[in-house]
Amino acid sequence: MMKYFGLITLLVTVASASNTCEPDLLNDEAADQFEAAPITILSQDTNTVTFTVSQTWSDDMLCLIGTHYLTENNGYSCPTVANAGPGEFANYTAQCVDGVASVDLYVYDPTFLPSDGPTIEGICEQTTPEQTYKYGFEIPCTSTIECPAPVTCAEVKSTSYDFENVGDAEAWLFGKIGGTSNQYLQLDSETAEISKTFDTPVDGTTSATFQLDFLTVESLADDQLVLIRVGDYYLNMTSAVKNLAMGDSRKEFYGDIEVNTERVGFSTTIRAAVKIPASMYSAGHISLGVRTTGSVDSFVAGVDNVSLVLECEEGGDDFGSGTKAGGGGGDPHFQRWDREHGSFHGECDLVMVHSDKFQNGAGLDLHVRTTIQDYFSYIETAALRIGESIVEIHKDHFYLDGTKYTPSDLPITFGEDVTISNGQLEAGKNPKYYQYFQVDLNDHSSMLFKYYKKYLTIDVNGHAKDFYDSVGLLGDYRTGDMLSRYGTPITDFDQYGFEWQVTLEDGKLFREDRSPQLPYEPCRMPTAARPARRLRGADAALFENASTACAHVSGSDVDLCIEDVMATGDVGFATMW
């Protein structure tokens, strides 16, 4: 592990014209004493300076760091932090005298080389002077820049590092690149902890989630511990990282911190999502660290795809206004919020939409059940939860909280003014083949469940006020992007479908279970071969009829509409587009 130490007394001065919020060292020799500046300026005025203190001398814990400064009450203080782990650990406000705030750091560790020690201020905890280093800072009370500029939830809603370049690793304290084709942030016997401090909004959020992937964990020894540090809290992730079986996941709580871990597919990668309350980063920043401990010094492991995702509060420009369209149907195709369709042919129960904030915290879930037919699948039925009420939709009937109703019983109102009614069929459609259920969630959001024969299509019109926090197959409401359950981007729609298969934690909405169900079996994919376009084109008459029937569809959806008709051999399918 690395430890940085050298001169006993260092004087560090920040010039008023500095363009950085990290103090510049006037003593060039001192540049090698620590990996990064231990003090960062948060704010300055004519009377005070607010700053953070970070342990940047070692990637292992240091025995003690004391910070000596004049307080706003014109009395001296010297708070100490014992067993200081790498990264930011405190912030203080110092009084200015003659335009500057003087701050001394006393850093002690028994591993430091003995030398002539400094005189330690009497108010500070007395340590062995020969192994204590003193760093003096003089910070001006005014600056030409704002340190740092406040950030909003919209600006940093999602911050990520995939470590495919050296710069990503250099942004982390003690970070270095590992791997070749797939690069990652390396954990090994030479590095005890890697860490980074993230800027966060001081308001406008309800929680933040760190997500990170642990790679090559099979190389860890039996006695190896894996720890995640969030702020001042170390979370022991050893059991989850080393012992999760394929397809397994678990949820644990460390006080107000929620940790979800899962094994990614059939790989050896373990994904951890650490959700923390807004109170933990109310000062505008939060640090994340990862460390390992153990007696074996031959292990190599990695951390990849690290992201910080903030859950923004409702309102403002963060989420916009008006409604967005999404839905699913066909063989089947899922439209993300105001985005293009993507196809997933698996047979299983899927999460189309999940919102915790809907109706002031009542919550909303929309699950669909897909069924394989030949080489494709279709949506057979759907279940909608709003608060404590569940509606299960079938072609000629539905269940509301377990009670069966038919179209003749409509309209029905439940919950906070949610109304189910018979949707109006377009002119020329034969009621023998069509049944529409209109669900008005309120004055500005609605869902339309449209049956053509046994095939269900769902149109969702969602207002920002209702769905701003929603996730699922319809994507991130703000962008429509395909995101995992923990906020990382996904580019392959099949992977996206498997990601949003209903789990035990999603809750049971359908009255009856039907395989496949997690955690026992993932979505089943069709085994019948999908005909090549050339062979399907052999039925020229059907193709011509499909093209005519799909003429009302625009953009790339035309091809999907024709695909649906060709797959089912039913021109009427085009009327669902």
Residue 264 lies in a domain: yes
Nearest to 372 by CA among 503, 544, 515: 515
93 and 241 together in one domain: no
326 and 467 together in one domain: yes
Structural domain boundaries, residue 558: 531-577
Q: What is the mean pLDDT of residues 114-124?
A: 88
Residue 428 lies in a domain: yes
Domain final residue, candidates 488, 512, 527 = 527
Query: Is the predicted pLDDT of residue 415 greater than 90, yes or no?
Result: no
Domain final residue, candidates 508, 527, 546 = 527
Q: What is the mean pLDDT of residues 198-206?
A: 79
411 and 426 together in one domain: yes
| E strand intervals along 412-528 | 412-414, 418-422, 434-440, 446-452, 455-463
Query: Is the predicted pLDDT of residue 19 greater than 50, yes or no?
Result: no
Cβ neighbours of residue 533 under 8 Å, at least 6 residues apart? none
Percent of the chain with pLDDT over 90: 34
Band of the pLDDT at 386, cuts 50, 70, 90? very high
236 and 289 together in one domain: yes
| pLDDT tens-digit readout, 235-257 | 998 888 878 877 778 888 888 88
404 and 540 together in one domain: no
pLDDT higher for 134 or 479? 134
Q: Is the pTM of this model over 0.85?
A: no
Query: Is the predicted pLDDT of residue 323 greater than 70, yes or no?
Result: yes
34 and 178 together in one domain: no
Residue 150 lies in a domain: no
Rounded Cα distance between 189 and 253, Å, is 29
> Residue 87 belongs to a domain with what CATH number?
2.60.40
First to last CA, the chain: 62
Say what the pLDDT of residue 340 is: 81
10 Å CB burial of residue 389 (0-12, 13-18, 19+) is middle
Kindly write down the DSSP assignment for every residue of 441-474, as one continuous string. Answer: -SSS-EEEEEEETTEEEEEEEEEHHHHTT-BSTT
378 and 492 together in one domain: yes
522 and 535 together in one domain: no
Residue 149 lies in a domain: no
Q: Are strands 225-230 and 205-215 parallel, antiparallel or unpaired?
A: unpaired
502 and 478 together in one domain: yes
Q: What is the mean pLDDT of residues 183-199?
A: 85
Side-chain-facing half-sphere of 271: CA atoms under 13 Å: 22
Domain final residue, candidates 140, 169, 195 = 140
Residue 1 lies in a domain: no
380 and 260 together in one domain: no
Share the mean pLDDT of the chain: 83
Cis peptide before 489 (omega within 30 of 0): no
Residue 146 lies in a domain: no
Element (H, E) at 102: strand 100-108
Say what the pLDDT of residue 23 is: 61
> Which of 152-166, 384-398, 539-553, 555-569 is most confident?
384-398
Inter-residue contact 364 to 416 (CB < 8 Å) = no
Residue 214 lies in a domain: yes
Angstrom CA distances, 144 to 19, 94, 152, stand at: 8, 19, 22
Query: Is the predicted pLDDT of residue 264 greater than 50, yes or no?
Result: yes
pLDDT higher for 516 or 163? 516
Say what the pLDDT of residue 535 is: 44
pLDDT higher for 74 or 450? 450
Band of the pLDDT at 533, cuts 50, 70, 90? low
Say what the pLDDT of residue 13 is: 39
Residue 145 lies in a domain: no
Inter-residue contact 226 to 237 (CB < 8 Å) = yes
Band of the pLDDT at 532, cuts 50, 70, 90? low
Query: Is the predicted pLDDT of residue 452 greater than 80, yes or no?
Result: yes
Q: What is the mean pLDDT of residues 309-325?
A: 65
Say what the pLDDT of residue 534 is: 41
What three-state secondary structure class fits 372?
strand
Q: Are strands 270-277 and 205-215 parallel, antiparallel or unpaired?
A: antiparallel
Rounded Cα distance between 178 and 188, Å, is 10
Inter-residue contact 354 to 501 (CB < 8 Å) = no
| pLDDT tens-digit readout, 430-440 | 888 899 999 99
> Residue 250 belongs to a domain with what CATH number?
2.60.120.260
254 and 360 together in one domain: no
Which residue type, as a one-letter code, is found at position 236? Answer: N
Number of domains in the chain: 4
Q: Tell me the chain's radius of gyration from C-alpha atoms.
A: 29
184 and 240 together in one domain: yes
Say what the pLDDT of residue 17 is: 32
Question: What value, to the nearest 5°, has the Cα angle with vertex 480 and ends 390 and 526?
Answer: 70
Give the single-character DSSP code of 130. Answer: G
